[in-house]
Protein backbone atom coordinates (compact mmCIF):
# COMPACT_ATOMS: atom_id res chain seq x y z
CA UNK A 1 0.00 0.00 0.00
CA UNK A 2 2.80 2.42 0.90
CA UNK A 3 4.59 1.53 -2.33
CA UNK A 4 1.36 2.27 -4.18
CA UNK A 5 0.97 5.65 -2.45
CA UNK A 6 4.56 6.50 -3.35
CA UNK A 7 3.98 5.31 -6.94
CA UNK A 8 6.78 2.75 -6.56
CA UNK A 9 9.30 5.56 -6.01
CA UNK A 10 10.79 4.49 -2.68
CA UNK A 11 13.28 6.84 -0.94
CA UNK A 12 16.02 4.19 -1.54
CA UNK A 13 18.05 5.20 1.52
CA UNK A 14 17.44 4.40 5.17
CA UNK A 15 18.58 7.82 6.37
CA UNK A 16 16.37 9.52 3.79
CA UNK A 17 13.41 7.34 4.77
CA UNK A 18 13.95 8.22 8.43
CA UNK A 19 14.23 11.95 7.60
CA UNK A 20 11.07 11.90 5.48
CA UNK A 21 9.17 9.97 8.13
CA UNK A 22 10.33 12.41 10.84
CA UNK A 23 9.20 15.40 8.73
CA UNK A 24 5.85 13.72 7.96
CA UNK A 25 5.19 12.95 11.64
CA UNK A 26 6.31 16.42 12.73
CA UNK A 27 4.02 18.08 10.19
CA UNK A 28 1.08 15.74 10.85
CA UNK A 29 1.25 16.33 14.62
CA UNK A 30 2.58 19.90 14.54
CA UNK A 31 -0.38 21.49 16.40
CA UNK A 32 0.18 19.04 19.27
CA UNK A 33 3.96 18.61 19.20
CA UNK A 34 4.87 22.29 18.85
CA UNK A 35 2.35 24.45 20.67
CA UNK A 36 2.29 28.16 19.91
CA UNK A 37 1.58 30.36 16.94
CA UNK A 38 5.05 30.58 15.48
CA UNK A 39 5.86 26.85 15.24
CA UNK A 40 2.48 26.22 13.61
CA UNK A 41 3.16 29.06 11.19
CA UNK A 42 6.53 27.50 10.32
CA UNK A 43 4.88 24.07 9.85
CA UNK A 44 2.20 25.52 7.54
CA UNK A 45 4.86 27.37 5.55
CA UNK A 46 6.83 24.12 5.20
CA UNK A 47 3.69 22.38 3.84
CA UNK A 48 3.06 25.15 1.30
CA UNK A 49 6.69 25.36 0.21
CA UNK A 50 7.05 21.57 -0.13
CA UNK A 51 4.24 21.78 -2.67
CA UNK A 52 5.61 24.88 -4.37
CA UNK A 53 9.15 23.51 -4.58
CA UNK A 54 7.93 20.09 -5.79
CA UNK A 55 5.92 21.78 -8.56
CA UNK A 56 9.01 23.79 -9.54
CA UNK A 57 11.13 20.64 -9.53
CA UNK A 58 8.72 19.17 -12.08
CA UNK A 59 9.98 21.91 -14.38
CA UNK A 60 13.61 22.31 -13.39
CA UNK A 61 14.59 18.87 -12.14
CA UNK A 62 12.44 16.64 -14.33
CA UNK A 63 12.10 18.61 -17.57
CA UNK A 64 15.12 20.91 -17.52
CA UNK A 65 13.00 24.07 -17.84
CA UNK A 66 14.39 27.14 -16.08
CA UNK A 67 11.44 29.40 -15.30
CA UNK A 68 11.28 32.54 -13.19
CA UNK A 69 7.51 32.79 -13.44
CA UNK A 70 6.71 30.30 -10.71
CA UNK A 71 6.04 32.95 -8.07
CA UNK A 72 3.66 34.59 -10.55
CA UNK A 73 1.48 31.46 -10.52
CA UNK A 74 1.89 31.26 -6.74
CA UNK A 75 0.65 34.84 -6.58
CA UNK A 76 -2.27 34.21 -8.93
CA UNK A 77 -3.49 31.50 -6.54
CA UNK A 78 -3.16 33.80 -3.55
CA UNK A 79 -4.86 36.75 -5.25
CA UNK A 80 -7.62 34.52 -6.68
CA UNK A 81 -8.69 33.38 -3.21
CA UNK A 82 -8.09 36.80 -1.63
CA UNK A 83 -10.09 38.76 -4.22
CA UNK A 84 -12.99 36.28 -4.10
CA UNK A 85 -13.12 36.18 -0.28
CA UNK A 86 -12.81 39.95 0.09
CA UNK A 87 -15.54 40.74 -2.44
CA UNK A 88 -17.99 37.92 -1.74
CA UNK A 89 -19.42 36.34 1.38
CA UNK A 90 -16.47 34.58 3.07
CA UNK A 91 -17.67 31.04 2.35
CA UNK A 92 -16.50 27.87 0.63
CA UNK A 93 -18.18 29.01 -2.59
CA UNK A 94 -15.92 32.07 -2.72
CA UNK A 95 -12.84 29.91 -2.07
CA UNK A 96 -13.88 27.50 -4.83
CA UNK A 97 -14.62 30.30 -7.28
CA UNK A 98 -11.40 32.16 -6.51
CA UNK A 99 -9.35 28.98 -6.81
CA UNK A 100 -11.00 27.85 -10.06
CA UNK A 101 -10.60 31.32 -11.60
CA UNK A 102 -6.95 31.47 -10.52
CA UNK A 103 -6.25 27.97 -11.87
CA UNK A 104 -7.93 28.88 -15.18
CA UNK A 105 -5.84 32.07 -15.48
CA UNK A 106 -2.63 30.21 -14.60
CA UNK A 107 -3.44 27.46 -17.08
CA UNK A 108 -4.05 29.97 -19.86
CA UNK A 109 -0.91 31.97 -19.07
CA UNK A 110 1.35 28.93 -18.66
CA UNK A 111 -0.02 27.40 -21.87
CA UNK A 112 0.61 30.57 -23.85
CA UNK A 113 4.03 31.22 -22.35
CA UNK A 114 4.94 27.55 -22.85
CA UNK A 115 3.68 27.20 -26.40
CA UNK A 116 5.25 30.41 -27.65
CA UNK A 117 8.43 30.35 -25.61
CA UNK A 118 9.47 26.73 -25.04
CA UNK A 119 10.67 26.45 -28.62
CA UNK A 120 13.47 28.87 -27.88
CA UNK A 121 16.69 28.10 -26.05
CA UNK A 122 16.58 27.64 -22.27
CA UNK A 123 18.20 30.98 -21.45
CA UNK A 124 15.72 32.89 -23.63
CA UNK A 125 12.80 31.06 -22.06
CA UNK A 126 14.13 31.98 -18.61
CA UNK A 127 14.37 35.63 -19.69
CA UNK A 128 10.84 35.60 -21.10
CA UNK A 129 9.43 34.15 -17.87
CA UNK A 130 11.36 36.76 -15.89
CA UNK A 131 9.84 39.52 -18.01
CA UNK A 132 6.30 38.10 -17.74
CA UNK A 133 6.64 37.65 -13.95
CA UNK A 134 7.98 41.19 -13.52
CA UNK A 135 5.14 42.55 -15.64
CA UNK A 136 2.61 40.66 -13.51
CA UNK A 137 4.17 41.91 -10.25
CA UNK A 138 3.99 45.52 -11.51
CA UNK A 139 0.41 44.95 -12.66
CA UNK A 140 -0.56 43.60 -9.21
CA UNK A 141 1.03 46.59 -7.55
CA UNK A 142 -0.57 49.13 -9.92
CA UNK A 143 -4.13 47.74 -9.97
CA UNK A 144 -4.58 48.73 -6.35
CA UNK A 145 -8.39 48.92 -6.52
CA UNK A 146 -8.44 45.28 -7.46
CA UNK A 147 -5.37 43.84 -5.73
CA UNK A 148 -4.82 46.19 -2.83
CA UNK A 149 -1.57 47.42 -4.39
CA UNK A 150 1.52 47.23 -2.20
CA UNK A 151 -0.66 46.75 0.89
CA UNK A 152 -2.21 43.57 -0.44
CA UNK A 153 -5.58 42.18 0.59
CA UNK A 154 -6.66 41.08 4.05
CA UNK A 155 -9.82 38.98 4.11
CA UNK A 156 -12.09 36.87 6.26
CA UNK A 157 -12.30 33.12 5.95
CA UNK A 158 -15.26 30.73 6.41
CA UNK A 159 -16.34 29.89 9.97
CA UNK A 160 -14.61 26.49 9.99
CA UNK A 161 -11.26 27.99 9.01
CA UNK A 162 -11.28 30.49 11.86
CA UNK A 163 -9.68 27.75 13.92
CA UNK A 164 -5.93 27.77 13.16
CA UNK A 165 -5.72 24.02 13.68
CA UNK A 166 -8.52 23.37 11.16
CA UNK A 167 -6.85 25.65 8.60
CA UNK A 168 -3.53 23.97 9.27
CA UNK A 169 -4.99 20.53 8.58
CA UNK A 170 -6.59 21.82 5.38
CA UNK A 171 -3.17 23.10 4.26
CA UNK A 172 -1.43 19.89 5.37
CA UNK A 173 -4.01 17.56 3.79
CA UNK A 174 -4.17 19.33 0.43
CA UNK A 175 -0.37 19.70 0.29
CA UNK A 176 0.13 16.00 1.08
CA UNK A 177 -2.51 14.92 -1.46
CA UNK A 178 -1.08 17.10 -4.23
CA UNK A 179 2.46 15.98 -3.41
CA UNK A 180 1.41 12.34 -3.89
CA UNK A 181 -0.26 13.31 -7.18
CA UNK A 182 3.01 14.92 -8.34
CA UNK A 183 4.88 11.79 -7.27
CA UNK A 184 2.46 9.75 -9.39
CA UNK A 185 2.95 12.07 -12.38
CA UNK A 186 6.76 11.95 -12.34
CA UNK A 187 6.71 8.16 -12.06
CA UNK A 188 4.23 7.73 -14.90
CA UNK A 189 5.19 7.18 -18.57
CA UNK A 190 4.64 10.94 -18.98
CA UNK A 191 7.27 11.57 -16.28
CA UNK A 192 9.72 9.28 -18.08
CA UNK A 193 9.29 11.29 -21.28
CA UNK A 194 10.01 14.46 -19.30
CA UNK A 195 13.24 12.89 -18.00
CA UNK A 196 14.17 11.86 -21.54
CA UNK A 197 13.57 15.44 -22.74
CA UNK A 198 15.73 16.77 -19.92
CA UNK A 199 18.57 14.45 -20.94
CA UNK A 200 18.38 15.10 -24.65
CA UNK A 201 15.53 16.81 -26.42
CA UNK A 202 16.63 15.74 -29.91
CA UNK A 203 16.83 12.08 -28.94
CA UNK A 204 13.32 12.27 -27.53
CA UNK A 205 12.12 13.85 -30.78
CA UNK A 206 13.85 11.11 -32.78
CA UNK A 207 11.68 8.63 -30.85
CA UNK A 208 8.60 10.52 -32.05
CA UNK A 209 7.83 12.63 -28.97
CA UNK A 210 6.65 16.19 -29.62
CA UNK A 211 8.80 17.74 -26.96
CA UNK A 212 7.19 21.21 -27.13
CA UNK A 213 3.85 19.66 -26.17
CA UNK A 214 5.36 17.69 -23.28
CA UNK A 215 7.28 20.71 -22.03
CA UNK A 216 4.17 22.89 -22.29
CA UNK A 217 2.14 20.27 -20.37
CA UNK A 218 4.80 20.15 -17.65
CA UNK A 219 4.75 23.96 -17.51
CA UNK A 220 0.95 23.94 -17.15
CA UNK A 221 1.00 21.24 -14.45
CA UNK A 222 3.68 23.07 -12.48
CA UNK A 223 1.71 26.32 -12.78
CA UNK A 224 -1.54 24.73 -11.57
CA UNK A 225 0.10 23.19 -8.51
CA UNK A 226 1.91 26.48 -7.72
CA UNK A 227 -1.45 28.28 -7.99
CA UNK A 228 -3.04 25.86 -5.54
CA UNK A 229 -0.06 26.33 -3.19
CA UNK A 230 -0.64 30.09 -3.43
CA UNK A 231 -4.32 29.66 -2.57
CA UNK A 232 -3.40 27.54 0.47
CA UNK A 233 -0.84 30.08 1.62
CA UNK A 234 -3.37 32.92 1.33
CA UNK A 235 -5.91 30.92 3.34
CA UNK A 236 -3.30 30.28 6.01
CA UNK A 237 -2.18 33.92 6.23
CA UNK A 238 -5.69 35.34 5.59
CA UNK A 239 -3.78 37.85 3.54
CA UNK A 240 -2.17 38.14 0.12
CA UNK A 241 0.26 40.78 -1.01
CA UNK A 242 3.26 41.21 -3.29
CA UNK A 243 5.70 40.48 -0.48
CA UNK A 244 4.22 37.09 0.41
CA UNK A 245 3.74 35.72 -3.10
CA UNK A 246 5.19 37.73 -5.98
CA UNK A 247 8.50 38.89 -4.56
CA UNK A 248 11.55 37.81 -6.55
CA UNK A 249 13.27 36.77 -3.32
CA UNK A 250 10.67 33.98 -3.02
CA UNK A 251 11.76 32.72 -6.46
CA UNK A 252 15.36 32.65 -5.25
CA UNK A 253 14.25 30.77 -2.10
CA UNK A 254 12.48 28.18 -4.28
CA UNK A 255 15.61 27.71 -6.37
CA UNK A 256 17.72 27.28 -3.22
CA UNK A 257 15.29 24.73 -1.79
CA UNK A 258 15.31 22.70 -5.02
CA UNK A 259 19.11 22.70 -5.19
CA UNK A 260 19.64 21.94 -1.48
CA UNK A 261 17.08 19.10 -1.50
CA UNK A 262 18.18 17.64 -4.81
CA UNK A 263 16.91 18.27 -8.32
CA UNK A 264 14.92 15.63 -10.15
CA UNK A 265 13.52 14.02 -7.04
CA UNK A 266 10.25 14.95 -5.36
CA UNK A 267 11.68 13.98 -1.97
CA UNK A 268 14.28 16.70 -2.45
CA UNK A 269 11.45 19.24 -2.27
CA UNK A 270 10.43 17.92 1.16
CA UNK A 271 13.96 17.98 2.56
CA UNK A 272 14.90 21.29 0.91
CA UNK A 273 11.75 23.13 1.99
CA UNK A 274 11.85 21.76 5.56
CA UNK A 275 15.51 22.68 6.11
CA UNK A 276 15.25 26.07 4.43
CA UNK A 277 12.04 27.26 6.11
CA UNK A 278 13.20 26.08 9.54
CA UNK A 279 16.60 27.75 9.01
CA UNK A 280 14.91 30.92 7.79
CA UNK A 281 12.87 31.07 10.99
CA UNK A 282 15.22 29.71 13.63
CA UNK A 283 18.77 30.32 12.38
CA UNK A 284 18.75 33.84 13.81
CA UNK A 285 17.81 32.55 17.26
CA UNK A 286 20.40 29.79 17.12
CA UNK A 287 23.02 32.35 16.14
CA UNK A 288 21.93 34.65 18.95
CA UNK A 289 22.43 31.86 21.46
CA UNK A 290 25.78 30.90 19.91
CA UNK A 291 26.92 34.52 19.79
CA UNK A 292 26.00 34.92 23.47
CA UNK A 293 27.98 31.81 24.39
CA UNK A 294 31.03 33.15 22.56
CA UNK A 295 31.18 36.45 24.47
CA UNK A 296 34.72 37.27 25.48
CA UNK A 297 36.26 35.58 22.45
CA UNK A 298 37.35 38.11 19.84
CA UNK A 299 35.57 38.27 16.45
CA UNK A 300 33.31 35.23 16.93
CA UNK A 301 30.36 36.99 18.63
CA UNK A 302 30.31 39.56 15.80
CA UNK A 303 30.64 36.89 13.16
CA UNK A 304 27.68 34.99 14.56
CA UNK A 305 25.57 38.05 15.31
CA UNK A 306 21.91 37.33 14.39
CA UNK A 307 22.02 40.10 11.79
CA UNK A 308 24.50 37.98 9.80
CA UNK A 309 22.07 35.10 9.35
CA UNK A 310 21.75 35.63 5.59
CA UNK A 311 25.53 35.45 5.27
CA UNK A 312 25.58 32.06 7.00
CA UNK A 313 22.65 30.82 4.96
CA UNK A 314 24.67 31.77 1.88
CA UNK A 315 27.73 29.95 3.22
CA UNK A 316 25.60 26.87 3.93
CA UNK A 317 24.23 27.05 0.37
CA UNK A 318 27.69 27.32 -1.22
CA UNK A 319 28.97 24.43 0.90
CA UNK A 320 25.97 22.26 0.09
CA UNK A 321 26.34 22.91 -3.66
CA UNK A 322 30.09 22.22 -3.41
CA UNK A 323 29.86 19.03 -1.37
CA UNK A 324 26.37 17.80 -2.38
CA UNK A 325 25.98 18.78 -6.06
CA UNK A 326 23.16 16.26 -6.36
CA UNK A 327 21.47 17.74 -3.28
CA UNK A 328 20.88 16.01 0.03
CA UNK A 329 18.63 13.35 -1.48
CA UNK A 330 21.07 12.60 -4.32
CA UNK A 331 23.92 12.37 -1.84
CA UNK A 332 22.05 10.02 0.49
CA UNK A 333 21.04 7.76 -2.39
CA UNK A 334 24.59 7.71 -3.80
CA UNK A 335 25.93 6.88 -0.35
CA UNK A 336 23.64 3.87 -0.19
CA UNK A 337 24.91 2.61 -3.56
CA UNK A 338 28.54 3.00 -2.41
Partner 1 sequence: MAENLLSLSGVHTHIGHYHILQGVDLVVPRGELTMLLGRNGAGKTTALRTILGLWSASAGAIRFEDSDITQRDTPAIANLGIAYVPESMGIFAGLTVQENLVLAARRGPPEEARLDWIFRYFPPMKKFWDLPAGNLSGGQKQMLSISRAIVEPRKLVLIDEPTKGLAPAIINNLIEAFAELKKTDTTILMVEQNFHAAKSLGDSVAVMDAGRIVHAGRMADLATDDALQTRLLGLSLEAHQ
From CA 198, how far away is CA 186, in angstroms rounded?
Answer: 13
Measured CA distances, 270 to 43, 197, 324 (Å): 12, 24, 16
How many other C-beta atoms are found inside a 10 Å radius of the C-beta of residue 5? 10
Q: Which of 113, 193, 217, 266 binds partner 1 (CB under 8 A)?
A: 193
121 touching partner 1, by CB under 8 A: no
Of residues 14 and 203, the one with the C-beta less far from partner 1:
203
Using CB under 8 A, which of 18, 200, 285, 318 touches partner 1?
200
Q: Which segment (21-29, 73-81, 192-200, 270-278) binds partner 1 by CB under 8 A?
A: 192-200
Contact between 192 and partner 1 by CB under 8 A: the answer reads: yes
195 vs 286 by CB, closer to partner 1: 195
Which stretch, 22-30, 204-212, 254-262, 301-309, contacts partner 1 (CB under 8 A)?
204-212
Tell me which of 137, 175, 196, 260 binds partner 1, using CB under 8 A: 196
Q: Are residues 27 and 273 in contact, defined by beta-carbon separation less than 8 angstroms?
A: no
316 counts as binding partner 1 under rule CB under 8 A: no
Backbone angles phi, psi at 296, to 5 degrees: 100, -25
Distance CA 193, CA 99 (A): 29
CB of 258 to partner 1, least distance (A): 17
> At 247, phi and psi to the nearest 5?
-60, 140
The residues in 263-292 that bind partner 1, with binding defined as CB under 8 A, are 264
Under rule CB under 8 A, residue 60 binds partner 1: no
189 binds partner 1 (CB under 8 A): yes
Of residues 10 and 100, the one with the C-beta less far from partner 1? 10
Helices (H) and strands (E) in the chain, counts: 17, 2
CA dihedral 128, 213, 4, 46 (to 10 degrees): 10
Closest CA relative to residue 229, chosen from 131, 106, 61: 106
Task: Select from 89, 77, 91, 125 the least CA-distant residue to 224.
Answer: 77
Contact code string over 205-224 relative to partner 1, x by CB under 8 A: xxxxxxx-------------
Task: Considering only residues 81 through 100, tell me which ones interact with partner 1, judged by CB under 8 A.
Answer: none
Q: How far apart are CA 244 and CA 98, in angstroms?
A: 18
Is 195 an interacting residue with respect to partner 1 (CB under 8 A)?
Answer: yes
Radius of gyration of the chain (CA): 20
Classify strands 153-154 and 239-240 as parallel, antiparallel or unpaired. antiparallel
Q: Report, in Å, the least distance between residue 337 CB and partner 1.
A: 10
Binding part of the chain for partner 1, among 113-121, 160-168, 195-203, 272-280 by CB under 8 A, reads: 195-203
Q: Which positions touch partner 1 (CB under 8 A)?
A: 189, 192-193, 195-196, 198-200, 202-211, 264
Amino acid sequence: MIAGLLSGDAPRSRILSALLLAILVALALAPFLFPGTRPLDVAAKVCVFVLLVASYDLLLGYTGIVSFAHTMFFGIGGYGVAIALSRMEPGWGAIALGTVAAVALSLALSFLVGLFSLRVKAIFFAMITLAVASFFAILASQLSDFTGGEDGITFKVPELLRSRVATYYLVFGVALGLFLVLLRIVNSPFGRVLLAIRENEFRAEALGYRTVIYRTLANCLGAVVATLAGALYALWLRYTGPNTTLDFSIMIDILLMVVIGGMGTMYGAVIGAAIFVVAQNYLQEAMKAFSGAMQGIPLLPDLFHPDRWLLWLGVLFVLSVYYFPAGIVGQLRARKKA
